[in-house]
Amino acid sequence: MGIITLPAFYADFKAANAGDKNYKSTTRDVRKLIDSLKTYDKVNAIVMDLRGNGGGSLVEAISLTGLFIDRGPVVQVKDLRGKIEVDEDENSGVTWDGPFGVIVDRLSASASEIFAGAIQDYGRGIIMGSQTYGKGTVQSSIDLNKLVNPSMLQRVAGLISKDKTVGTSPSGASPADINLGQINLTMAKFYRVAGSSTQHKGVTPDIVFLLFIRWIKLEKILNHLPYHGMLFQVLTLKQLQILPLLKHN
């Protein structure tokens, strides 16, 4: 049996956009590892270890799922206006069609939950471990400087220049020196291909075993969005083309 430990969903988008044929990405690296496990180690089963994986690139979560399923929806995204987008793996064929398992824990979040949820919904593998984090929301970053009138930034810069106790340069501050920071606004929610949300409830493993996480009390995290149940209006099991898989399993 081969075990692949994946700490994050990553991709070098800068290198990819520049045309680098050897750019790094989760899917590319995992595909190479699977080929090696099949060719040299002759494994008859593979386990993907997502413990502590807090997420990363949504694109990579979708493409990585495609290594184990033969095309189809991977995740649904519902925005604040109620518009629903279905993100799919559009590539035919699979890299690994043998026995497959995924290990998760309470620190497996976001893209990890999308991947594990899709594998579970398609009946493609066994999910093991403990309930995942439950991060099923999409955030957009807003630069606060862009929300403020430039004349206001000029006034703030002037006030800072007059205050010698603030760490400014001898020539004083300019509007370009003012950084109000950014805020992250929740703009959408993720839903699994079978319709349920990962928000707050996360992914429940098929086989549950206790994984200890010391010093972290995740249950005390406040102000999370609640679980909003099923998303009935978009996809049925028949439309997802996974009913035969579910019957087979």
Residue 66 carries which DSSP code? T
**Annotation says 110 is catalytic:** yes
Write down the catalytic residue from 49, 105, 121, 197.
Answer: 121
Show the beta-strand stretches assigned E in 99-221. Answer: 100-104, 126-129, 137-143, 182-192, 207-208
Write down the catalytic residue from 135, 189, 196, 197.
Answer: 135
Distance CA 88, CA 9 (A): 17
Residue 1 carries which DSSP code? -
Write down the catalytic residue from 25, 63, 108, 110.
Answer: 110
**Annotation says 24 is catalytic:** no
**Annotation says 121 is catalytic:** yes
Cβ-contact 64, 87 below 8 angstroms = no
Cβ-contact 76, 138 below 8 angstroms = no
Helical pair 26-36 and 58-65, crossing angle rounded to 10 deg: 30
Active site residues: 110, 121, 135
